[in-house]
Amino acid sequence: MKKGNIIGRWAFLIGVILAIVMGVMNNASTSSAIAPLLVLIGLIIGLLNVTDTEVMPFLWSSVALIIATSLGSGAFGDIVIADGILQALLLVFVPATVIVAIKNVFAIAKH
């Protein structure tokens, strides 16, 4: 197993756990000091954790998560903990999705 894969896997695990914890604590807003850390973890996930064979499943899953979270935030607006978790997960998955999508575009352009 490559070193990047290990770092990427740990980043994914830490990012999701941290997003859940911060969401439960209702501290995952963009003004929070932890928000840049969640974004950085998302960038690491996008750079190191998604292999060539995982690109499309990752993009489909993450885009579904982003859309559902963004459009569903109104449904969870009254449930503060659920909304906080989803917003924190967005801080992780949006940067990861952007990085993976850009990597995929470059891979397509090479062919």
For the chain, give the mean pLDDT. 85
| Pairwise CA distance, residues 92 & 18, whole Å | 10
Going by C-beta distance under 8 Å and a sequence separation of 6 or more, which residues neighbour residue 29?
35, 87
* Average pLDDT for 24-37: 72
Sketch the domain layout of the chain as residue ranges.
3-110
The per-residue pLDDT for 51 is 84
* Average pLDDT for 71-75: 74
- pTM score, whole prediction: 0.85
Going by pLDDT thresholds of 50, 70 and 90, the confidence category of residue 110 is confident
* Average pLDDT for 10-14: 91
| Pairwise CA distance, residues 26 & 97, whole Å | 24
The per-residue pLDDT for 38 is 93
In percent, the amount of the chain with pLDDT more than 70 equals 88
* Average pLDDT for 85-109: 92
* Average pLDDT for 66-74: 80
